[in-house]
């Protein structure tokens, strides 16, 4: 049983587009949400501190969805991805910093 790397789209919210050359969506590949997010911050290093804390953990005020499902209720960053999946980054309205 081999693991296939999926090409997925990550939707970038308006407050973070300044860190992605104003792109509203970025295509990356990965077998899990964590791999996809790692590829995103490798492409756009200035985005990393807005998504991850100093320990490399996803910031508590950053919500990641695969389709309509919050990864906190799935397998968090270990959530597997299917080809063509769409991830959305949704920063909390209150709290945290962008």
Instruction: Kindly tell me the burial class for residue 71, based on how many C-beta atoms sit within 10 Å of its own C-beta (0-12, 13-18, 19 or more).
Output: buried
Query: 23: Cβ–Cβ under 8 A, 6 or more apart, which residues?
Result: 12, 17
In this prediction, residue 84 carries a pLDDT of 93
Q: What number is the average pLDDT over the span 83-94? A: 86
Q: Where are the domains of the chain?
A: 7-88
pLDDT tens per residue across span 52-68: 999 999 988 899 999 99
Query: 48: Cβ–Cβ under 8 A, 6 or more apart, which residues?
Result: 41
pLDDT tens per residue across span 13-48: 999 999 999 999 999 999 999 999 999 999 999 999
In this prediction, residue 1 carries a pLDDT of 45
Q: Evaluate whether the domain defined by 7-88 bears CATH number 3.40.50.2020.
A: no
Q: Which residue has the tokens 């290093």?
A: 45
In this prediction, residue 4 carries a pLDDT of 66
């Amino acid at each position: 049983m081999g693991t296939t790397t999926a090409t997925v789209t990550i939707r970038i919210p308006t407050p973070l587009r300044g860190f992605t050359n104003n792109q509203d969506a970025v295509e990356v590949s990965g077998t899990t949400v964590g791999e996809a997010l790692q590829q995103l911050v490798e492409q756009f290093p200035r985005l990393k501190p807005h998504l991850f804390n100093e320990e490399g953990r996803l910031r508590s005020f950053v919500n990641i969805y695969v389709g309509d499902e919050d990864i906190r209720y799935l397998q968090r960053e270990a959530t597997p991805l299917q080809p063509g999946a769409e991830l959305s980054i949704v920063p909390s309205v209150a709290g945290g910093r962008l």
